Amino acid sequence: MEPIAYERFGVQFSMAKETREKLEHAQTLLSHSVPSGDLAEVFDRALDALIEKLEKRKAGATMNPRPPLRRNLAVRTIPAYVRRAVWERDQGRCTFVGENGHRCDSKRFLEFDHVEPVARGGQATVEGLRLRCRAHNQYEAEQVFGSAFMEMKRRTAEG
């Protein structure tokens, strides 16, 4: 991305034929609201839709949250209302704080981490979860369970 004017950026990339067909289809579907087919507007709307979908899946974001249901504590899923609350509380970033007092800035590869591991009775509650980037989640697991145990678990998961 190259700045071309105040708050405007030029973007250039190549795309597969199938992606071009999807783009043209989106322009067609948006023809009533974006008659010019302006690519910047089409991409902006596509990104809005994608972000909404991903935030719903990852953070449980919704405009109309349902009240919590009674949960089966044996199930390891994290209810949407818990994901929403943890995501908001942790500001969508890793909560790991190093020995120097610096909080990790990562907003990528975030995972919901049990403060008390599930293997030790941890629960999927707002108080029992925090956001961690993958690296700090793995680091914390190694601190709790040992690096040899976690390495074995990773090898088992790979195949």
CATH number at residue 117: 1.10.30
DSSP one-letter string for 57-124: HHH---SSPPPPPP--TT-----HHHHHHHHHHTTTS---B-TTSPBP---SSEEEEESS-GGGT---
Structural domain including 151 reads: 80-158
- 84 and 153 co-located in one domain: yes
pTM, entire model = 0.60
Report how far apart the first and last C-alpha atoms of the chain are (Å, whole number).
39
Which tens digits make up the pLDDT trace of 43-59?
999 999 999 888 888 87
- 52 and 97 co-located in one domain: no
- 151 and 92 co-located in one domain: yes
Q: Is residue 74 part of a domain?
A: no
- 46 and 91 co-located in one domain: no
**Percentage of the chain exceeding pLDDT 90:** 47
- 154 and 84 co-located in one domain: yes
- 90 and 130 co-located in one domain: yes
Residue 64 has pLDDT above 80, yes or no: no
Q: Is residue 64 part of a domain?
A: no
Instruction: Give the model's pLDDT for residue 31.
Output: 87
Total structural domains within the chain? 2
- 85 and 151 co-located in one domain: yes
Instruction: Give the model's pLDDT for residue 145.
Output: 83
- 41 and 88 co-located in one domain: no
- 17 and 48 co-located in one domain: yes
Please tell me the distance from the alpha carbon of residue 77 to that of residue 72, in angstroms, as a whole number: 10
- 99 and 45 co-located in one domain: no
Residue 67 has pLDDT above 70, yes or no: no
Q: Indicate the pLDDT class of residue 69, thresholds 50, 70 and 90.
A: low
- 47 and 92 co-located in one domain: no
Residue 72 has pLDDT above 80, yes or no: no
- 42 and 87 co-located in one domain: no
Q: Indicate the pLDDT class of residue 147, thresholds 50, 70 and 90.
A: confident
Which tens digits make up the pLDDT trace of 17-31?
999 999 999 998 898
